[in-house]
Amino acid sequence: MIAPRNHIEAVPRRIRATLGAITVVPTDAVSSCPYKGNTSGYWSVAVGASVHADLAWSYAFPTRQLLPIAGLIAFYNEKVGVIVDGAIVPRPVTHFFS
């Protein structure tokens, strides 16, 4: 994913972008987080002929403390390469993907 800094907000371990900054395909997946609430959507990312399922998600109505992330798209940056302002963001190691 490549996005200019004015289209993203860095949150620990996640890069969040506006929907217009990337190309994604909606899916039916949902999840819940005790800190952020219920997701409002998941998206797969198509790169050429490959589709990478459920790599991105969003919270339209997160908990009050996390309202700044409302409507932004988060990525499993353990699985995608992220470049911000020309610099590669290191991939975190988490329990989601090993």
Domains and CATH numbers, the chain: 2-89 (2.170.150.40)
* Measured distance CA(6)–CA(32) in Å, rounded: 28
Question: Per residue in 75-89, pLDDT tens?
Answer: 887 887 777 888 888
pLDDT at 19: 60
* Measured distance CA(50)–CA(17) in Å, rounded: 21
Q: What phi, psi does 42 have (nearest 5°)?
A: -120, 150
pTM score of the predicted model: 0.67
Q: Is the pLDDT of residue 1 over 70?
A: no
